[in-house]
Amino acid sequence: MIIPVILSGGTGSRLWPMSRELNPKQFLSLCSDQTMLQDTMTRLEGIKDLAAPVVVCNEEHRFLVAQQMRDIGIDVDKIILEPIGRNTAPAICAAAEYIQGKNAGDKNAGDDVMLILAADHVIQNKEVFHQVVESGYRVAQQGQLVTFGIVPHNAETGYGYIKRAEFFEQDENAYKVAQFVEKPDLDTAQKYYDSGEYYWNSGMFMFKASSILQELEFLSVDIYESVKTAVSKGAKDLDFCRLEVDAFTASPSDSIDYAVMEKTDKAVVLPLDADWSDVGAWSALWEVKSRDSDGNVIHGDVLKHDLTNSYIHSEERMVAVIGMDNCVVVETADAVLVADKSRSQDVKEIVNQLKNTQREEILSHQRVYRPWGSYETLEETERFKVKRIVVNSGAKLSLQMHHHRAEHWVIVKGTAKITCGDKEFVMTEDQSNYIPLGTQHRLENPGVIPLEIIEIQTGSYLGEDDIVRFDDTYGRVENGQVDIGHAK
């Protein structure tokens, strides 16, 4: 079988302010009505011998992955949770170890082929993509490590390149790999393009689980041993596989390119010409989206005059742009980006400033998604905070208490089941309840429609880390600790 392994650990910082650490670009609807992760999954429909996918993601994104898969009716095999980012080699090693371990007790199980995909790529020609994947499957079954090289249409300096050697198998249009090369300068990129022997390095691969593990053990034994231990000592619950923290943290951080593909003698490249993009900047998103007669991509409530070749994205407010060319304007509830489109890669410099000053705008949007629903901060001062909280049907927050704040809840939509101290009761629209400081409490939605409340917090400290959990449906930490991504 072909087992899709979706790598969903990136933060997508170059698409700030839309992409945030707790809600990065793979979870956003940037190129279609679906999120990029969902597009990656549905793009696979129609490939022969396809098994349930495995997703590797950061632990703080686990509920986003699970919910987005449910929303499109995809049953995942397992969601592997990385306690810390260690680049693609350990992530792929963990998926391969999981797959091998799962098949170990099955006498009828074959040696599955892994299709490694990033969660945030765009591939517009699905038919060609399927054809090349099926060719890659046949080559990978022979024990080769397949990578997909993007056929370049210009001299690009933003990608690494793969130089092909002689044919490995002419019927499959597969070549042995001569060399992996770093991102070139413009003159070198032009030489690569003119030669016809180089492809862009896509970061997509196919190989048998046993093949990649064998090469990792031989070429990058520190990664292999650390990740093998992290998987064997990991905890499995429901759809999740939690890698053991200390062992995985001990693994070197390295890409699969450096750890294996540049060293192995089994590397094979298949050319892929399927309108691919890694959407690594706002300028790349402008290139893949439909443009109007003036060359503009417009999203949201935008008024324009004398605007050309630009990307304008409005989320919360009306945006007006006059007399601009080749620009990017991205508006969200808490941040606005204005940039020359040719310098959209420099967004990383703003992101670094946000990190250095520990600004909240690097971490999350005003609306934060949690396993039970979402919350959005509407107003905040030193002594009070107002939130809009939405609880999904059948969901409930943790049983919790706060040391420094009281809370007032006003039900504006739906039905709430409330625990407050030793009392439990039901409230409906236009009713309200007071949660005194230090009181155990819980909010549930027993109804069939989303529950919406306005929460007013008052107290001396309103930080999201003022929380003690006594019971939690979603396996989050308790006793005064809280997930990254914050509360409730």
Q: Is the peptide bond before 436 cis (omega within 30 degrees of 0)?
A: no
The DSSP letter of residue 379 is E
DSSP per-residue letters across 100-138? HHHHTT-TT---PEEEEEETT-EE--HHHHHHHHHHHHH
β-sheet bridge partners, residue 336:
331
Coil, helix or strand for 201? Answer: strand
Q: What pLDDT is stored for residue 366 in this prediction?
A: 82
Q: What pLDDT is stored for residue 107 in this prediction?
A: 59
Residue 37 CA to residue 239 CA, distance in Å, equals: 17
Q: Kindly give the parts of the chain with pLDDT less than 50.
A: 478-487
Portions of the chain given CATH number 3.90.550.10: 2-277
Residue 423 CA to residue 17 CA, distance in Å, equals: 43
Portions of the chain given CATH number 2.60.120.10: 367-471
CB 313 within 8 A of CB 300: yes
Tokens representing 252 are 């070197």
Q: What pLDDT is stored for residue 485 in this prediction?
A: 37
The DSSP letter of residue 8 is E
**What is the signed CA dihedral for 436, 439, 440, 446, rounded to 10 degrees?**
-20
Closest C-alpha to 76, from 98, 93, 97, 51: 51
Q: Is the dihedral of CA 415, 397, 361, 407 positive or negative?
A: positive
**54-63 residue pLDDT tens:** 999 998 898 8
**102-145 residue pLDDT tens:** 877 665 566 899 999 999 999 999 999 999 999 999 999 999 99
CB 281 within 8 A of CB 269: no
CATH number of 2-277: 3.90.550.10
Closest C-alpha to 469, from 445, 449, 487: 487
| Backbone phi and psi for residue 456, each to the nearest 5 degrees, phi listed first | -115, 115
Coil, helix or strand for 67? Answer: helix
Coil, helix or strand for 238? Answer: coil
Tokens representing 311 are 């990307």
Q: What pLDDT is stored for residue 473 in this prediction?
A: 79
What's 367-471's CATH class? mainly beta
Closest C-alpha to 284, from 36, 8, 3, 27: 36
Q: Burial of 235 by CB count in 10 Å (0-12 exposed, 13-18 middle, 19+ buried)?
A: exposed
Q: Is the dihedral of CA 212, 41, 149, 91 positive or negative?
A: negative
Judging by DSSP bridges, how do beta strands 54-58 and 2-8 pair with one another?
Answer: parallel
β-sheet bridge partners, residue 377:
387
CB 188 within 8 A of CB 195: no
State pTM to two decimals: 0.87
